[in-house]
Amino acid sequence: MKVAVGQFASSADKTSNIERISALTLEAVKAGARLVVFPEGAMHTFGALTDDLAPAAEPLDGRFVDNLTRLTDRLGVTVVAGMFEAIPDDHRIYNTAVVVAPRDGLVARHRKRYLYDAFSEKESDRMVAGSDDLPIVEIDGFMTAVAICYELRFPAFIQDAADRGAELLALPAAWVAGPLKEDHWLVTVRSRAIENTMYVAAAAMTGVGYCARSMVVDPLGVVLSGLAEAEGVTIAEISKERLAQASAKLPLVAQRRVPSPVEK
């Protein structure tokens, strides 16, 4: 299966954002992609730390998901993208990633469980943490888990998905720039792939304040395809054969065990 990651800088203009998603998805499909992953906040920019995101947020049956449904039906491709999900009677929102598939529409959603309360930012001022484990959906025969940005820094959270059978991690992100932050991004994306012998399709936000560097990484940590800072898509082919080879060489998932009380 060919997997693509789309990288762009979202704005406060939701119509413009969906148009950009549509154009990049079409580009990916023309190159043979069956799955396209877009950044966290693809629906609407995060804006300044003090910006109220509630007016921009939508329900899961709102305009953004409806547009993605029409797009996936028209192009016959599955799309993963980040949105801000409205919470009735709350000034805060969920930071959500949706999986939209042709003919089936919305097949999964993940509400960010580990909020970015770090590096002098506090996402929990504007967002409510989700409570579920990472969802896993089958996409063209590949069991695909969905996580969001900062959750990449919690290895056990990702490992749980691999232990439940995930072979590919779709990761919408808006990795904030800063001292060492690009290094952290590069290291953690590849680390999660290696320690779980899974593919990682990491779609990052570009533009002012973000690290960009979207990439597709194979189960042994090799960057198969990637972008620098420019908007665009990058595509890589993933295979069951490579997954089997990686697991045979490095059987980490099979060897993992629950620590004993003494080890804890």
DSSP string, 118-147: -TT--GGGTB----SPPPEEEETTEEEEE-
CATH of the domain at 191: 3.60.110.10
pLDDT digits (tens, 9 = 90+) for 189-238: 999 999 999 999 999 999 999 999 999 999 999 999 999 999 999 999 99
The two three-digit tokens of residue 195, written as one number: 């320690």
pLDDT tens per residue across span 114-147:
999 999 999 999 999 999 999 999 999 999 999 9
Count up the domains in the chain and report the number: 1
Evaluate if pTM is beyond 0.85.
yes
Gyration radius (Cα) of the chain, Å? 17
Integer Cα distance of 221 and 219 in angstroms: 6
Q: pLDDT tens across 31-52, in order?
A: 999 999 999 999 999 999 889 9
72-to-18, 238, 250 alpha-carbon distances in Å: 12, 21, 36
Confirm whether 74 is domain-assigned: yes
Is-contact 137 167, C-beta < 8 A? no
Residue 101 included in any domain: yes
Decide if 47 is inside a domain.
yes
Q: Are 232 and 5 in contact (CB under 8 A)?
A: no
Phi, psi of 40 (to 5 degrees): -60, 140
Indicate whether 261 belongs to any domain.
no
Whether residue 56 lies inside any domain: the answer is yes
Task: Determine contact, residues 162/136, Cβ cutoff 8 Å.
Answer: no
Lookup: tokens for 78: 């599955």
Q: Which domain holds residue 244?
A: 2-255
Q: How confident is the model at residue 258 (pLDDT cuts 50, 70, 90)?
A: low
pLDDT at 50: 85
Q: How confident is the model at residue 106 (pLDDT cuts 50, 70, 90)?
A: very high
- Rounded to an integer, what distance in angstroms lies between the CA atom of residue 139 and that of residue 123? 31
Q: What is the pLDDT of residue 261?
A: 54
- Higher-pLDDT residue of 259, 176: 176
pLDDT confidence of residue 264: 47
